Structure 1
Amino acid sequence: MTRFFKTFTTALLVTGAAFPAMASARPMTAEDLATLKRMGSVAVSPDEKWAVFDVTETDLETYDRSSALYLLDMNRDDAAPVRIVDAPGKSEHSPAFAADGSLFYLSDASGSEQLWHARITAGDQVGNPVQASDLKADIAGFKLSPTGEKIALWGDIARDCPTFGCDHSGNRAEPGPGTGREYDELFIRHWSSWETPGNYSRIFAFDLKDGKVAGDGAALDGDLVGDSPSKPFGGGEEIAWVPGEDGLFFALRTADRNEPKSTNIDIYGAKADGTGTVNYTQSNEATDTLPAFSSDGEWLAWAAMERPGYEADRLVVKLRKQGSDEDEAIALTKDWDRSVGSIVWTPDNQYLIVTAQDVLDHPAFAVEVATGKVTRLTAEGNVGTTIPLQDGSLIFTMNSLQAPTDLYRRAPDGSVTQLTNINGSELAEIDKVEIERFSFAGANGDTVWGQIIKPEGATGKLPMAFLVHGGPQSSFGNSWSTRWNPKVMAAQGYAAVTVDFHGSAGYGQAFTDSINQDWGGKPLEDLKLGYAAALETDPQIDGERSCALGGSYGGYMMNWIAGNWPDRFDCLINHAGVFDLRAMALSTEELWFDQWDHGGNWWSRPNPEKWNPVNTIANWKTPTLFIHGEKDFRIPYTQSIMPFTVAQEMDIPSKLLIYPDENHWVLKGKNSVQWYRTVFDWMGKWTATDMQDSKGQ
């Protein structure tokens, strides 16, 4: 077994942001987690002096949330972010600078999501904001053209509506006279909402005149039918203006009967007047996304998968020269066994800045355009937004297991400065945690990585909180989460242990692929070996007092553990986990995921029942807490009602927490607090010393 503690630490010594003096610290609470500020979108002015970012803030009493814009002078070492719009009860977000240095953003100040405009004056003050659009539909996002003369807006618009919003855009799924919905094909629902036939996420291009949206705009989808940006999570990263030309590129998957089984997202180009729509990736039937143009407009970069139907395939950076044929595209990172998550050109067009999961971190990398050589730019942590500057510096956002997102600058010499510390005073009152990485030989002898997170300076034995990530093609890495936060779990007196089992991301595509049609095989073997490796790595962990927790695929694993590792844990916490693979296959919405991972639709799988937890309930005996949201259409909430019913029928101690207003994730402030309190109570009940004594009698 290999121990690995804080590699790269010296590379991330930061300066700049003011850090409050350490107060008398205390353990972190669920209330802390729900109310810490959350940095969102970031923009840098053309002169690279100003950074503007939005911060979501939570009322400490009501848990109501709103977002505000903050301005930071990046040329001053002592600068502090200044709030630039004061509109209590309203939200401002998604800032972007135009070529002339003026600021645009979205706000609900007018009663709907519209575009707003402000200027930074010669005295370094922000002028009074002016509403820049008054459209019938809410604006979901926007992207300014390089010249600032045009703007792309997108939102949910009826396909037969020629403008950005029409009076007749009702729900076509409800023909009346009753309340029934009618559907002729899938999707009927997606992620957390029922579909409205004929409505799609659509992009319109508008002129900008005197800082305001002008005219009716032009729809860019032409004869295409589908969502752009893609749903449910696509955004501006799927749209790119062509520098020096009057056109845009965008990603879209055709909406038809085959859509729930298709990952064939293509990149299209169109003129800003909505004409000349062309599919630039027609020959690839897998995903193409993240279009990004070099500043001279000569090269298009994008990310492409190879295997149709596989949403976790490796995203390889491709390059195509304007005017060339599709088969002349260059697979720039074909020899780098990582999957990119974002793409941005440097101002000199010599490099692409990308992010990718790499073991337990999600760093930024520089990819040399001429050679494809990849260089890691950041150390430990989870990098989000990246903005390269003219002098070779890099502005980026980053979070970690220790702290939420803040803004950083990497200088050309590699030194890193923290520019913001938006939760500094709050974090100064909270105990830190100790984080140790470890590796071990997992299934097939492959190296598997894990982490141990425990209260700093804790004494005595600590019960284990064994966290199993969802996905399953993801990672429980060094990142901040409001939904599954090891720091707040460790603060309750636990050693939180994570294991990146076979199927996880960041270890090469073969490792990710290895979970295919093996949900209950190698991953469970890794978890068993990882449990033992954690105890060997840290003798402070009490292996006789432990609870396992997981959501989504991690929740599936709780059901699988209940039947296949029933003597190990004192309790289980199962959030939105799959219980019956047959019911899952016939009720989930994105069919491509379920069908790829299990070898086809239910009736064509070679051995459909092999990894089905419902078949192992005779072995169940572990006390289990089940949690689910009624708006979860990825894994419908009946997948928690069924195992709860089983546990009740078998007289196994069990509890069900169901949210009528949450989806696959618990997002609302009060609900989050309730989630953690319920989880902590359940864990505390079954890992208490007196409970252990009674078990031994």
Structure 2
Amino acid sequence: MMRLICAMCLLLVSVGPLAAERRPITHEDLWLMPRVGAPVVSPDGVRVVFPLIEPSYSKDEVVSDLWLVPSDGRESPRRITSGKGGEADPVWSNDSRQVAFTAKRGDDKQSQIYVMDIVRGGEAQRATALSTGAAKPRFSPDGLHLLFVSSVYPSSRNDADNERLAKEEEERKFKARSYTSYPIRDWDKWIDGKQAHLFVQRIGEPAARDLLAGSQLASLPGFALVEDSARWSPDGQAIIFAASRNRNRAAWSFTHDDLWKVSAQGGEPQRLTGVEQLDAADSWSSPRFSRDGRSLFAIVEPRTSNVYNARRIGVFDWPAMRDRGRISLPDAREITDFAIMPDGASVRVFGEDAGQVKLFRSAASGGSAELVGAPEHGIYANPSIGGSQSAVLVATWQSATDPPEVVSIDAGSGVFRRLSNFAGTRLASLDLAQAESFWFANSRDQRIHNLLVRPPGFDPAKKYPLLVLMHGGPYSQWHDEWVLRWNYHLLSASGYVLLLTNYVGSTSQGETFAQAIQRDPLKGPADDVNQAADEAIRRYPFIDASRQCAAGASYGGHLANWLQGTTTRYRCLISHAGLVNLESQWGTSDTSFEREISMGGPVWEQGAVWREQNPIRLAAHFRTPVLVTFGEKDFRVPLNNGLEYWAALQRQRVESKLIVFPDENHWVLSGENSRYFYKEVRDWLQHYLEPAAAAGSRQGDAHRP
């Protein structure tokens, strides 16, 4: 049924229901909205291919296909694949005739690479057949070979070895995980001993060559490939990629990724960046070549004593690797992505600024990028450039009221126009207010950016409860964007004003502002959140100061737990994946050293921050009713923190509810689980934000020492 997206759905909706006829968003609206993936424009700039997911509450009914649209927007997008296994990672050949992508079709036990001739048409042909699968394809410059990634056993030399080792592992009579170095887990997966390697295969031939098999680099205990980083050199003779040599040192040191070069025939990789020693240095990723092959660009994250350092773009002469300098944004704001103009003379950069991601430009020689333009609302992502005489820049655009769509951006002015509008028909019936910005100066004289979302059916004469929503990270920011995890409008649909604060530590105002959170992990940001609520109440007379709740996930959950021990102003709290004990988090999370640096030293030294900014130490003051939710497979904020919080809440007889999702990780990703999560959040808020709620006496401006 999801395949029956009609052509009318792809046309811009010029006339929709009157605002009075529109209705609040439901979970079904949110979950079933088509989801556009990263677009890729053909090298000649004529066509754009992109993945589209048509969701369902049933995993078996989810559809993921590739679509094609002319870059000039003269035709609506059309579906070009229809495999049951779903397609992803599309890339173009240099002649703009073929598209390679990842899919699992027919008798494939693992995802493989398929190639489709866009000009001639016809069915896509399978190009790989590895027992370990294949992903992240890249055409060679001549279009005759494919580069891709597969996770293999480190001791293997070929696919037969991998099949044999997999069979031996399956037939073992014992089940155990054994480790001799750090790390051992990543988000929701145990590190299983396999390594991501690079492979090259001639199209039409069965044998794939493992470029890293037997290399000294891959044998290092700290080796880890950055899987989406590999690119062909301009002459097609080598592969450039990013990889770490010191991941095993993550328990006591910062780690980093270098850029490497390996022959397309295999052999020992040559390091292109960094130092000979394994000490932490600048970290490199996303290498990309200019069209003329004379310049290499890559994202670089400088290494300093700070946990957070804003990303820059490094520029090198190729193949000499002479360092030409860095491209940065004003105030060292965060670079999210970039694309090199076809003439190689300049670069278009996507960068964060006060809740948006805007378009900047810089000369290829380096320096500070200047603003080109920004949409009135929303953010850009996933840039891709094609064309020759004139650049064709495509990307995704989204806002708080618009799910991601494919757009074409004028590289000179920053003005965009839609190439797709899959969500238009459904959106036309929904009452979705634009996110609006305001600023204030906090108690430390820092300017704090905020977004505010009004509820559906808004009446300025009425009084509305305030829901304070805190973002994760902390090195991130609230954007004017469409969100599945904490959808602004679904949370405000019951009649709440939503407040989203980019507190100190957010990346919304540059590097210095973000770094200011170090050694002040919870108190400073929480003070900003509380002050933002006061400021919103002062500015907007329709906010009812007597009815406030606060919620957050991940780092936002950490802040919710800090508020639990430090203020009584909120009628209720919601904490998802939030730590309550920084000390146990240090030892059980999948990362630890950066937490140590943020706190000013190792946990056993018990420095002031460890003692003074740990919510569990404030458990004697826990009073506010709280909904606590966790994914049992979350290794970033493991379940033990949720159980410890729950024990303290029960010990203190605090009104509370614990929900554990056995099959979820750091995020609630299943449709039905998401629907249940939002229902529980809605019910919790409705109970405590009713005017006569028993918890009303808890509101106010009281703060505990």
Q: Which of the numbers 135, 139, 142 marks the counterpart of 2:130?
A: 135
- Name the structure 2 match of 1:39: 36
In the alignment, is residue 71 of structure 1 matched against residue 63 of structure 2? no
* Superposition map of 1:181-580 within 5 A: 181-197=177-193, 199-208=194-203, 212=204, 214-220=206-212, 222-225=215-218, 235-236=227-228, 238-254=229-245, 257-260=248-251, 261-283=253-275, 285-307=281-303, 312-324=308-320, 328-333=323-328, 337-370=332-365, 372-377=367-372, 378-379=374-375, 380-390=377-387, 391-412=390-411, 414=413, 415-459=415-459, 460-565=462-567, 567-580=568-581
1:118 alignment counterpart: 116
Task: Find the aligned partners of 1:228 and 1:674 in 2 and give their Cα distance.
Answer: 41
Give, as a single letter, the amino acid of the residue that structure 1 aligns with 2:406.
Answer: L
Distance in 1 (alpha carbons) for counterparts of 2:72 and 2:672: 39
> How far apart are the structure 2 equivalents of 1:37 and 1:75?
22
Structure 1: distance between partners of 2:154 and 2:647: 44
Q: Give the Å deviation of 1:241.
A: 1.8
Letter in 2 for 1:406: E
Residue 592 of structure 2 aligns with which residue? Answer: 591
1:175-229 residue CA offsets vs partner (Å, 9 max, x unmatched): 96432322222222111011112x1122112223xxx454221324732137999
Partner AA of 1:572 in structure 2: L
- Counterpart secondary structure, 1:421: coil
Question: Aligned pair in 2 of structure 1 residues 517, 371: CA closer, same or farther (>3 Å)?
Answer: closer
Query: What is the match of residue 702 of structure 2?
Result: none
Residues 40-87 of structure 1: CA distance to partner in whole angstroms, max 9, x if unpaired?
13222233221111111112566853311111123452x111111223
Q: Which residue number corresponds to residue 603 of structure 1?
A: 604
Cα distance between partner residues in 2 of 1:270 and 1:90: 33
* 1:20 CA drift (Å): 6.1
The aligned amino acid for 2:16 is M
Change (3 A) 1:586 1:66: same
Distance between the aligned counterparts of 1:627 and 1:202, measured in 2? Answer: 37
Q: Which moved more, 1:411-420 or 1:658-667?
A: 411-420
Q: Corresponding residue for 2:683?
A: 681
Shift of 1:532: 1.0
In structure 2, distance between residues paired with 1:171 and 1:475:
46
Q: What secondary structure is seen at the aligned counterpart in 2 of 1:362?
A: strand
**Amino acid across the alignment from 2:198:** I
**Residues 140 and 61 of structure 1: CA distance in aligned 2, closer, same or farther (over 3 Å):** closer
**Alpha-carbon spacing, 1:276–1:693, altered in 2? closer, same or farther (3 Å):** closer
Kindly, what percent of the aligned residue pairs are identical? 25
Please name the residue that 2:157 is paired with.
162
**Is 1:80 matched up with 2:80?**
no
Q: Which amino acid aligns with 1:279?
A: R
User: Does residue 1:27 correspond to 2:24, yes or no?
Assistant: yes
* TM superposition shift of 1:325: 5.7
After superposition, what is the alpha-carbon deviation per residue over 1:283-318, rounded to whole angstroms, capped at 9, x for unaligned? 371311121111222111112222257553121211
Residue 230 of structure 1, CA deviation: 6.0
2:46 maps to which of 41, 46, 49 = 49
CA distance in 1, matches of 2:331, 2:629: 39
Check whether the contact 1:173–1:196 (CA below 8 A) recurs between aligned residues.
no
Decide whether the 8 Å contact of 2:184 with 2:191 is kept in 1.
Answer: yes
**Structure 2 unaligned spans of 5+:** 1-9, 700-705
Residue-pair matches, total: 668
Cα offsets for 1:652-674 (capped at 9, x unmatched): 11001111111111111111111
- Say which is worse superposed, 627-636 or 361-370, in terms of deviation: 361-370
Q: Does 1:90 align with 2:85?
A: yes
Q: 1: distance between equivalents of 2:475 and 2:48?
A: 34
Q: Cα RMSD over matched residues?
A: 2.6
Amino acid corresponding to residue 589 of structure 1 in structure 2: D
Task: Letter of the 1:113 partner, please give it.
Answer: S
Does structure 2 conserve the Cα–Cα contact (< 8 Å) formed by 1:228 and 1:250?
no
Q: Closer, same or farther in 2 for the Cα pair 1:323/1:581, shift >3 Å?
A: same
**Aligned partner of 1:257: which letter?**
N
Partner of 1:11: none
What is the aligned partner in structure 2 of residue 10 from structure 1? none
Aligned twin of 1:13:
none
Q: Return the alpha-carbon distance in structure 2 between the equivalents of residues 416 and 517 of structure 1.
A: 41
Structure 1 pair 48–17 and aligned structure 2 pair: CA distance change class (3 A): farther
Higher deviation after alignment, 687-696 or 110-119: 687-696
Residue 363 of structure 1 aligns to a residue whose secondary structure is: strand
Separation (CA, whole Å) in 1 of partners of 2:81 and 2:639:
41
SS in 2 for 1:106: strand
Given that residues 633 and 666 in structure 2 are in contact (C-alpha distance below 8 angstroms), is that contact kept between their aligned partners in structure 1?
yes
Aligned with 2:293: secondary structure? coil
**Residues 195 and 175 of structure 1, relative CA distance in 2, 3 Å threshold:** farther
**Distance in 1 between the 2:281 and 2:361 partners?**
28
SS in 2 for 1:332: strand
Cα offset, 1:638, TM superposition: 1.2
Structure 2 Cα separation of the partners of residues 286 and 373 of structure 1: 19
Cα distance in 2, alignment partners of residues 73 and 333 from structure 1: 33
- Post-superposition offset of 1:525: 1.8
**Matched AA of 1:613:** P
TM-score (normalizing by structure 1):
0.90
Kindly tell me: are residues 230 and 468 of structure 1, through their superposed partners in 2, closer, same or farther at Cα, counting changes over 3 Å? farther
SS of equivalent residue, structure 2 residue 559:
helix
Query: Which amino acid is the alignment partner of residue 224 of structure 1?
Result: L
Distance in 1 between residues matched to 2:164 and 2:680, nearest whole Å = 45
Structure 2 CA distance for partners of 1:169 and 1:626, relative to 1, 3 Å: farther
Matched position secondary structure for 2:452: strand
Query: Residue 12 of structure 2: which of 9, 18, 38 is its match?
Result: 18
Rounded to whole Å, the distance in 1 between the matches of 2:675 and 2:239 is: 43
Unaligned 5+ segments in structure 1 are 1-15
Change (3 A) 1:192 1:120: same
Whole-Å separation in 1 of the counterparts to 2:543 and 2:217: 57
Q: Secondary structure at the match of 2:612?
A: coil
Distance in 1 of aligned mates of 2:577 and 2:47: 42
Q: Supply the distance in 2 between the matched residues of 1:172 and 1:515 (Cα, whole angstroms).
A: 49
Q: Is the 1:338–1:506 Cα contact (8 Å) retained in structure 2?
A: yes
Q: Give the Cα–Cα distance (whole angstroms) in 1 for the partners of residues 293 and 695 of structure 2.
A: 71
For the residues of structure 2 that align with 1:310 and 1:239, how far apart are their CA atoms? 28
Stretch moving more, 255-264 or 282-291: 255-264
Letter in 2 for 1:297: G
- State how far apart, in whole Å, the 2-side matches of 1:120 and 1:227 are: 43
CA deviations 1:518-569 (Å, max 9, x no partner) are 012321221121111111222111121111001111111111101111x110
For 1:172 and 1:624, the matched residues in 2 are separated by 48
